[in-house]
Amino acid sequence: MSTDSKSVQTPSEEQLAKAQEIMSVLNACTLNMPKEQTLQELHIIVERLTFIKESREGDLSESIIEDVLGGDVSEDVMKFVRWMYHRKVLGLLTGQHGRVFLRYSTRYYRKIKEIHCITAVALRESSRIKLLTHLRTIYPEPARIVFEEAPSLVLGCVIDDGTNRVDMSLMNESPRLIHKYITSLRPTRSSVHGS
């Protein structure tokens, strides 16, 4: 156990390269997911795989992994788990390695910017890709762009990058436009009063 701890504390270049590769795959798989959800699902994966690994002998099969995680983990994160399995590094998601991986991921994602694009209707895939292409010009990877649906907006969208929220929805714009209309009515009304 002490040997494991030492190796985690002072990672070699090879380990660092492997960690970077893992993180880039994780990012690629979960690029459209909220950071919070990604971390929650990683937490579930580490807990369950650790429990299964400790409670049975031998390597975990793909079917066991599907049984243990299926239904509670999104397809995007399952892609990452399958990749880890085929890459034969699934052990990094269990036990002490798994906990270190979770801490690292938490620190990593804390620095990553997350942009929420909230729309009044659910967008089709083609439209999402178009919008992603536009937004990537100002929010390059590894920033996350997450699409959400909020029918209460009625029309248009809201873009929230964590520090700045731009609401271009009709729900937000209509009071301003109505107020503008009311203000434009005022002089006419007072002139009527005056006469």
Partner 1 sequence: MISQNTIIIGILVVGIMILLVFLVRVWLLVRRLNVSFGKLGFLVREDAKKYFDDAAEKLVDTNEQFQERYKKIVEEGTKTALAEKSMVTEKILVDAHSKANTIILTARTDAQQIIQAAHKEADEHAEKTLQRTGGAIAWVLSQYLHETYTVEQHEQLIEKQVRMYVDEHRQ
Euclidean distance between CA atoms 80 and 118, whole angstroms:
26
The contact mask relative to partner 1 for 113-152 (x = CB under 8 A, - = no) is: ----x-xxxxxx--x--xx--xx-xx------------x-
Euclidean distance between CA atoms 26 and 79, whole angstroms:
9
* CB atoms near residue 39 (< 10 Å): 17
Residues in the chain: 195
Question: Is 171 near partner 1 (CB under 8 A)?
Answer: yes
Provide the terminal-to-terminal Cα distance of the chain, rounded to the nearest Å: 92
User: Which C-beta is closer to partner 1: that of 16 or that of 121?
Assistant: 121
- The token pair that represents 188 in the structure block: 């006419």
> Among 107, 110, 111, 193, which residue sits at the site for partner 1 (rule: CB under 8 A)?
193
Q: How many residues bind partner 1 (CB under 8 A)?
A: 33
Residues engaged in binding partner 1 (CB under 8 A): 117, 119-124, 127, 130-131, 134-135, 137-138, 151, 154-157, 159, 166, 168, 170-171, 174-175, 178-179, 181-182, 185, 189, 193
